[in-house]
Amino acid sequence: MSGGSSPSSRRNSSNSLSRDLDLSSEQGCLSIVVLGASGDLAKKKTFPALYHLFDQGFIQSGEVHIFGYARSNLSDDGLRERISGYLKGAPEEDLSEFLQLIKYVSGSYDNGEGFEKLNKTISEYEASSKTESYRRLFYLALPPSVYPSVCKMIRTYCMNPSSHPGWTRVIVEKPFGKDLDSAEQLSSQLGQLFEEHQLYRIDHYLGKELVQNLLVLRFANRLFLPLWNRDNIDNIQIVFREDFGTEGRGGYFDQYGIIRDIIQNHLLQVFCLVAMEKPVSLKPEHIRDEKVKVLQSVNPIQPEEVVLGQYDGYKDDPTVPDDSNTPTFASVVLRVHNERWEGVPFILKAGKALNSRKAEVRVQFKDVPGDIFKCKKQGRNEFVIRLQPSEAMYMKVTVKKPGLEMATEQSELDLSYGMRYQNVKIPEAYERLILDTIRGDQQHFVRRDELKAAWQIFTPLLHDIDEGKLKAVSYQPGSRGPKEADELSARVGYVQTHGYVWIPPTLA
């Protein structure tokens, strides 16, 4: 690469294919508005994602402007300085070019004065552009409690002007309510202001590379088609583990708990992709139709197939009530009442302050009939999709142990992304999902009826927990979680493999 080329020309030449593959044929200036611009989510996730899209040439300085909006009294340079602290390692010239795209507007979230000022600032940029098409994307990096008032302000003051072609789209972050009633109320409030095709309910798990790979694995490989059913699969685990606790966020976390925070959204989205039927096509609505169908096929959760845990020390946080029953760990069994999955337990498990950090899907197959090698005790075949960290897919298989004896052991057929795709940057979830919104592709966003079906599954359980009918048992930080969770998994059919550890391959 020659030293005399500018950052923008380097991006243009190296990313022409990426831009040719853009799903949107729309042209025109693009205004991206980050509401809550001074908050942690915007600084740590939204703005870095926008920078990476800019750096890869998906958004360019000639056609996009970024506006930050918040209550904080900041200047344009003040916001730029805050953002740059989260973009360490970015080439100085590229970073400077990106930061110049950002303007800041200060205002409250519940009166029109600030939004009138915001609209005026956007309109000045649009008027200076040489196109007739205006596109406005609003990213709500805000607490859900202010969504209705903010969306009302956007609707009243900041919509794309009807005199120009283009669109207005709104990205809202989870949590979408605390139970079925609150979620439906929020959906109704937003539905009165925007059409469904304008709303993008973001669950960043749907943007993860290995999650996006699930449909390809299932429906593009002849190998899996005949195996992916109750005849061959004994159980499926979808697991999320963190090796740290709430770390100063106890008061916030205590309002939600691990089921609302992780299982009802992130893990349930993965469950949909693992369990759904083959869609008619890859059109977003066809995929989302199948996700809704499988959610509607889930039986009511049985209390005896739930284990709740709370790690020792959680209530030491002064912001957590002394009598809190909020679970920091949960293992929940879902059962799907349809032809493919009848009798197969789906174990959704998530917890904080555990002995490792990972997220994975573990598909455990049934025992081999007529086990002539007497290797049943070594464990079953498992197909593991590791979502994070060290993205990988591997199949646990029984092989002959090298040597003169006929002895068997468990090994793996392994696709580790860090090895196979050494020179490929795996995009962050937020990059992909913001780009999808610009393109108008809603495949990886949660539809209103899907949200309703998800809350219908978990609301009775959540109400029982809130009312104290189900109690969280204690577990030690740094452990696997409550022993009752392992007992539940064993009771519904999961066979743990002892002595086998998957080690990510390295070049060393």
At a CB cut-off of 8 Å and minimum separation 6, what does 343 contact?
Answer: 230, 335
Asked if 276 and 290 count as a contact pair (C-beta separation under 8 A), the reply is yes
Q: Quick one: which H or E segment has residue 214?
A: helix 209-219
Q: Is the dihedral angle over the CA atoms 283, 287, 293, 296 positive or is it negative?
A: negative
Distance CA 167, CA 169 (A): 7
Q: Quick one: which H or E segment has residue 18?
A: helix 16-20
Q: Is the dihedral angle over the CA atoms 224, 270, 484, 345 positive or is it negative?
A: negative
Asked if 205 and 266 count as a contact pair (C-beta separation under 8 A), the reply is yes
Single out the catalytic residue among 52, 266, 463, 498: 266
**Token pair listed for 50:** 């926008």
- DSSP 8-state secondary structure symbol assigned to residue 317: S
**Amino acid symbol at 326:** T
Q: Give ∠ CA 326-327-333 in degrees, rounded to 5.
A: 135
**Token pair listed for 347:** 């174990």
E-strand spans in 81-141? 102-106, 134-140
**For the sheet containing 134-140, what is the strand order?**
102-106, 64-70, 29-35, 134-140, 166-173, 199-202
Q: Could you tell me how many helices (H) and strands (E) the chain has, helices first?
A: 18, 15
**Token pair listed for 191:** 């539905």
Total residue count of the chain as it appears in this document: 508
Adjacent-strand bridge partners of 398 = 410
Distance CA 224, CA 217 (A): 8
Place of tokens 């696997």: 480
Adjacent-strand bridge partners of 294 = none
- DSSP 8-state secondary structure symbol assigned to residue 36: T
Q: Is the dihedral angle over the CA atoms 206, 211, 212, 215 positive or is it negative?
A: negative
Q: How far is CA 283 from the centre of its chain?
A: 20
The CA R_g of the chain, rounded to the nearest whole Å, is: 25
Torsion of CA 269, 273, 278, 281, to 10 degrees: 70
Torsion of CA 437, 443, 447, 450, to 10 degrees: -150
Longest CA pairwise span in the chain (Å)? 82
Q: Known catalytic residue: 337?
A: no
Task: Cite the active site residues.
Answer: 266
